A and B are shown apart, each in its own frame.
Chain A
């Protein structure tokens, strides 16, 4: 197992501030990611529109988040570097796919997770899962970062390096408005 507990919520070195107009999909490609799947979340409305409208990303819409993790594992076996987008409610759905597949087979993949209910002020269906999101990742010993707008690029770099070095899934847990 990767030493997730030591890595969790690692503080990234501060890189240069992100250009507010920088394109997150392009940042992902610059870090070597080349397989994109996921399930929509309103947190990533603009981002997913961009991914779906650009054929070069080959975005694969998954029917559920556990299926997205399965697709990402298969893509990695085939030599790709996968990213899966999901809402935190879907992260909860994908727990077994992460625990009994991606983590124990030590598959590097980036999870970009929209964090609904992060401040306890969201609609009722998001409150419990919102509060449980980081504890769930801690319990699975999966490393993660919670980027600010200004740290997206450096956090992404840290994520990419850590998931390769430790051979582990890595989550970027994004409050609405941070990654667009």
Chain B
């Protein structure tokens, strides 16, 4: 399963959820698959997708927040798994698209080749944890988790390929922030 296809499969399922998309290809492919005002596209600040999503979920308990994370991104701030587990936000769904590499910088290996990120989320204390290695498993994982009380974690193992072909996110950073906040006013 290619990352872009997995991302497209998830965004097709979204209704009024808020999304925080990690920097690099994940943001680009999310925007290309389906651009919504509810999407916060990270351009830099690698590692902070889950913290931003957690802050949003705590601020807006009335809305479901879905984080589109990457393996390299999550590995930078693993402590966030512990924060989510401690805070138990019921409206938090953490999806990690794991290609086992740093795709935006040339495809260098990430250590998720040997470290199961779903097991770490489970050990930390996420309420529901699942893993999907093909598109059928992704659909059934989403069926199970997308409206379930969280915090939930879905590890999506995708094809180990570095590059994508989605264009850059066409918005200035302040525009990205302002339009997410304005959908919530």
Contacts and interface: CB of A to CB of B under 8 A. Distances in A.
Contacts of A35: 55, 58-59
Contacts of B60: 78-79
Q: How large is the interface on A (under 10, 10 to 19, 20 to 34, 35 or more residues)?
A: 20 to 34
B107 interface: no
A113 interface: no
Contact of A67 (B80, B174, B177): B80
B43 A70 contact: no
Interface stretch (B1-9, B44-52, B93-101): B44-52
A28 B42 CA distance: 29
Contact of B56 (A68, A77, A107): A77
A5 interface: no
B174 A66 contact: no
Interface in A47-77: 58, 60-64, 66-77
A30 to B, nearest CB: 20
A58 B58 CA distance: 10
Nearest to A167: B174
A75 B59 contact: yes
B21 interface: no
A77 to B, nearest CB: 5
6 contacts: A68-B51, A70-B48, A78-B184, A79-B181, A104-B173, A106-B174
